[in-house]
Amino acid sequence: MSPTATRKESIDFSDVYYESQLVVVVRKDGAYANSTSLSDLSRAKIVAQNGTFHNDALNAQAAEYGILPQTPMEDFPDMINALNTRAIDGYVAEEPGAIENCASNSDFTYIHLVNNATGFVATADDVAIAVGLKKGNSLLAGVNAALAGISQNERDQMMKNAISMSSGAEE
């Protein structure tokens, strides 16, 4: 979960354990399947989830790249359906979610974007992932201690394993 300022008002967060890349999920048979950067998405109808940083990033940068941002949708099942029915050309997601969506939808692939290079402008806070806990939860210190004992290489491998397991792919 991203530890945004708004979320921090109602829940506590662990230290950040992962930084995600924002990517665009597209159809394998679509016009944008071979794209490698936002500049390849000119005239693409792209959507993001309502009320998210994904939507803010899309709207902030769409005009620069000729992207046609669509009305934000409430959730990923809505965006998946819109892509399946070709109502849109793609949707913004974080890479782990995109991998899972593509594993569950054989007609999908995603554009491997790199934040602040070939992809969306994003700060470390924008793409930070942490554990969310009930405000005042006594487990927070223990969660942070456990995270501190895991190296970056181990974290990266754990995320790859988690993505692989959630998508049904082999390790």
Distance, in Å, from the CA atom of 171 to the CA atom of 164, rounded to the nearest integer, reads 6
- Chain CA centroid to CA 58, Å: 12
Q: Are 25 and 19 contacting, i.e. CB atoms less than 8 angstroms apart? A: no
In 3D space, the residue among 19, 16, 22 whose CA is nearest the CA of residue 114 turns out to be 22
Position 47: which residue type?
A: V
Distance, in Å, from the CA atom of 10 to the CA atom of 138, rounded to the nearest integer, reads 15
Which pLDDT does position 145 carry in this prediction?
96
Q: Which two tokens stand for residue 21?
A: 């890349």
Tens digits of residue pLDDT in 44-75: 999 999 988 899 999 999 999 999 999 999 99
pLDDT averaged per 10 residues in sequence order, the chain, 171 residues: 86 92 96 96 97 93 97 97 98 90 92 92 88 95 95 85 62 43
Q: What angle do CA 93, 127, 161 make, to 5 degrees?
A: 70
Q: Which residues contact 45 (CB under 8 A, 6 or more apart)?
A: 68, 70, 87, 88, 89, 90
In 3D space, the residue among 70, 75, 80 whose CA is nearest the CA of residue 102 turns out to be 80
- Residue recorded with tokens 């969506």: 101
Which pLDDT does position 171 carry in this prediction?
43
Distance, in Å, from the CA atom of 171 to the CA atom of 165, rounded to the nearest integer, reads 7
Q: Is 67 left (phi over 0), alpha (psi -120 to 50) or beta?
A: beta
Position 98: which residue type?
A: A
